[in-house]
Amino acid sequence: MSTIEKAMAKLAGKQPEGDDKKLVTEESLEVQAESISQTEAPSETIVAKEANTDAANVKAADAAKAEVKAPADDVPVAQPDAKKLPVADTPLASAEEESDSPETLIVSNQQTKQASPAKEDLSTKYAELDVTYLNRKGYISKQSDNKLVKEQFRAVKRKLLNNAFGALSSTLNNPNLIIVSSCNPHEGKTFSSINLALNIALERDKTVLLVDADVVRPSIVRELGVTVDAGLTEYLSGQVEDVSEIIYNTNIDNFKFIPAGKPHDLSTELLASEKMIALTQELATRYSDRVVIFDAPPLLGVNETHVMANHVGQAVVVVEESKTRLNDIKAAVAQLDENLAIGFLVNKSKRGWRDYYGYGYYRRD
């Protein structure tokens, strides 16, 4: 094709044969405008310069440039208001893989919080504990000056935590659930339960929930010196629908408790109910860093105790020196599941603690 024929073809709006360059039309400009976000702006300028377009086409190209999205580096930081968050063109997972920019991380964190509200502690109950009063009764805290008792329960606590989160945890069922009981009443199980819970609460990366499961002779509320509205029996009997309504936050860091509740005609039967079993499973799995301690009724005389004990991972049997009989200990332990990690805590000794104090595990040979 001659030079004259090429010029005539350009004036007629046709593509000359053998020419590799395309004429810029309104349709091609629209295509360029859609793909401009994936190319650099200077490339469009070169095309527009090389093309022999009329004034109308140049204006259309300028208008298309004005509508082009800003580069990704100019995206403003996402605001806390979720309604103003920019909508991504790709799924959130892909955006996190392709970019580590602060903007992407802010969007990711906000969407993660909205997607998992179940991990938040929704309890609205609160009980103010008098730390000075607790110290006078022999219970430990950060302010406690009773170093002897603190060291004693620290030794027990460390073994329980190692079982709950250490190598042995994979061999136990619900290792973070611990039942504290005794063979008979008045052997010191409640004193031990509260001190174990308060000592675990001193850990920086653990929380503890103390449950008063001794619904026949409840004493946690009395020992803590507080007044409550509802507790475990109200939840198990259906008077309270949500377990968050019976979990009480306190002024002691990392320490919460569930009271026993008011007396019920079927109090002991409620401990062996399907709802109680479901509750233990929920408490075991909902919070991975939480230790749950059940202050349970004595093992002898209350058949429902061993039913509940078979759904936890560890058991602490409190024995009173010079009072608890060996036959009672054997009979109590025989009711427990053989897969439990069972420990014994000697209480009420008249000798020095270095002579009597010990905590060991029972094994069936």
Tell me if the pTM is above 0.85. Answer: no
Q: Tell me what pLDDT residue 135 has.
A: 92
Mean pLDDT on 141-168: 91
Residue pLDDT, tens place only, 147-157:
888 898 999 99
Are 305 and 251 in a shared domain?
yes
| Per-residue pLDDT at 158 exceeds 60 | yes
Ranked by mean pLDDT, which of 31-45, 58-72, 332-346 comes out on top? Answer: 332-346
Residue 256 sits in a domain whose CATH number is: 3.40.50.300
Mean pLDDT on 327-339: 93
Sheet with 207-212: strands ordered across? 125-127, 248-250, 255-258, 207-212, 290-295, 177-182, 314-320, 341-347, 359-362
Are 98 and 154 in a shared domain?
no
Residue 121 maps to a domain: no
Are 167 and 304 in a shared domain?
yes
Are 156 and 34 in a shared domain?
no
Are 247 and 234 in a shared domain?
yes
C-alpha pair distances (Å), 342 with each of 168, 227, 360? 13, 33, 8
Give the residue among 157, 237, 223, 215 at the shortest CA–CA distance from 188. Answer: 223
Confidence class of residue 9 from pLDDT cuts 50, 70 and 90? low
Indicate the SS3 state at residue 65.
Answer: helix
Of residues 312 and 107, more confidently modeled? 312
Residue 31 maps to a domain: yes
Confidence class of residue 293 from pLDDT cuts 50, 70 and 90? very high
Residue pLDDT, tens place only, 206-259:
999 999 999 989 999 999 999 999 999 999 999 999 999 999 999 999 999 999
Boundary of a domain, candidates 67, 89, 106 = 67
Are 82 and 102 in a shared domain?
yes
Boundary of a domain, candidates 32, 49, 67 = 67
Q: Tell me what pLDDT residue 38 has.
A: 46
Mean pLDDT on 163-168: 93
Of residues 177 and 142, more confidently modeled? 177
Residue pLDDT, tens place only, 56-99:
454 555 555 545 444 444 444 444 444 333 433 333 333 333 33
Of residues 251 and 46, more confidently modeled? 251
Are 14 and 137 in a shared domain?
no
Range of the domain at 249: 126-362
Boundary of a domain, candidates 80, 115, 150 = 115
**Structural domains of the chain, count:** 3
Quickly count helices (H) and strands (E) in the chain: 16, 9
Are 209 and 337 in a shared domain?
yes
Q: Which residues of 143-161 are buried (b: 16+ CB within 10 A; e: fewer)?
A: ebeeeebbebbeebbebbb
Residue 257 maps to a domain: yes
Are 171 and 297 in a shared domain?
yes
Residue 120 maps to a domain: no
Are 96 and 230 in a shared domain?
no
Q: Tell me what pLDDT residue 230 has.
A: 93
Are 84 and 183 in a shared domain?
no
Are 94 and 200 in a shared domain?
no
Q: Tell me what pLDDT residue 287 has.
A: 82
